[in-house]
Structure 1
C-alpha cells in the first residue's frame, strides 16, 4: 500500500536522487542526453536542493517504507515538482500523490491546479483531467527544452 506523508528534512537526499534518476532514466525517452544532463546535472549543489525542497515542502510517497515519489502543492495551486521513482512507475504512486494533492487542495479551497509538465508526463496529467494551456520553450544550461503549462479547474 502506498502511504503519503509530509516531507521531513531527512528526505532531501532521496528526493534529489528520485528527481535525478527519473529525469536521466525516464525523461530520456523524450529529451536528449544533453537536455537531461542540463536538467539534472551531475554536480548539483545539495545545499541548494535542501533549501529548495524544504521551501516547497512536498508530500512523500512510500511503499513498504521506501520513498518512491514526491510532489508538492503550493498555496496558489501550483505543483512545482512531481516525480515518481524510475523503478516504481505504473503502479499507482503518481495517482496516489495526485489524489492527495487534490484532497489537500479541496480542504484549502484551491479551485485551479496547474503545473509545468514535461513531454514525458503530459499523458499522465491528461489522464487525471489536466488540459494543456500553453506549450513552453525554455533554456537550462544552454539546452533548449519544451514543456507544457497544464491546468485542472475544479
Structure 2
C-alpha cells in the first residue's frame, strides 16, 4: 500500500469512495434522508475538484485501487477521513492516521481534531482520540449527531 498526495484525475474516484462508503457504512447510525444530504448521489465535479485543490488529501492506494483518503487542515482539523467500505478493518485507516500524525508533527501542530460521525467514533477512540462533546449538524432540513474529538500529537 502506498500513501501519497492526491493526483490530477483522481477526484471522481475519491468522491465515489466517499459516497459509497457513507451510504453503506453509516446507514446503521443515520437516516437515509440525512445520508442523501451528507453524500448526494449527484457528483458535482467543480465543487470536489476545487475542494481537493485546496485540501490536498492523502490517498491510500494499492496499485490503481483507491483504498481510502484523509484531509488534514492547516490547524489540525481532520475534515474527511474515509476507508473504502469493502476494505475496512485491514489497517488502512491506521496507516492513514500515522501519516496524518507525521504530517501534523512536521507542521508543528500540537493536536488533531475532528467532528466524527457516530459510526467513526470507535475508530478515532482506537487511534487515541478523546470525545469532547456531542454536537448536532443541520443541513437542508436534516440533523445528525457528531462527536467533537481530539488527540494530542
TM-score under structure 1 length normalisation: 0.95
2:7 paired with 1:20? no
Partner SS for 1:95: helix
8 Å CA contact retained: 2:116, 2:149: yes
Partner SS for 1:9: coil
Over the aligned positions, Cα root-mean-square deviation in angstroms equals: 1.1
Aligned length: 153
Q: Which runs of 5+ in 2 are unaligned?
A: none
Which 4+ stretches in 1 moved above 4 angstroms? Answer: none
Aligned twin of 2:76: 77
Deviation at 1:36, TM superposition (A): 0.8
Partners of 1:75 and 1:43 lie apart in 2 by: 29
Deviation at 1:44, TM superposition (A): 4.0
Deviation at 1:35, TM superposition (A): 1.1
8 Å CA contact retained: 2:112, 2:150: yes
Deviation at 1:65, TM superposition (A): 3.0
8 Å CA contact retained: 2:111, 2:152: yes
8 Å CA contact retained: 2:15, 2:43: no
Partner SS for 2:17: helix
Partners of 1:88 and 1:63 lie apart in 2 by: 11
Aligned twin of 1:101: 100
Aligned twin of 1:66: 65
